Amino acid sequence: MAEHGVPVGLLAAAVERALWAPSVHNTQPWRWRFTASGIELHADPARHLTATDPDGRDLVLSCGAALHHLRVALAAAHLSAHVHRSPHPRTAGT
């Protein structure tokens, strides 16, 4: 069981649905990690197309689509999601 008594299988099924999210150039530049407190979504730098996306905007957009798909899958299972960005946008790079 994950935190709050949510079965890991249910969380895994939600991530499985999120894998179908669209991504720029179909790079799927994300990695998922299950922790004791929930699910983490990370950008995968190995899949970042630096030649066509030097600022990483497409990477962020693609990860956002995956996060959206995860939240929709969780909502379909009558679960809510709390999103915490790290590093926090106001403190990133400081």
Q: What is the pLDDT of residues 42-68, one digit of tens each?
A: 999 999 999 999 999 999 999 999 999
CA distance to 5, 29, 47, 50, 56, per residue, from 69 (Å):
22, 14, 19, 25, 20
pLDDT value of position 1 = 45
**Whole-prediction pTM:** 0.86
pLDDT value of position 37 = 85
Which segments in the chain show pLDDT lower than 70?
Answer: 1-4, 88-94
d(C-alpha 21, C-alpha 23), whole Å: 6
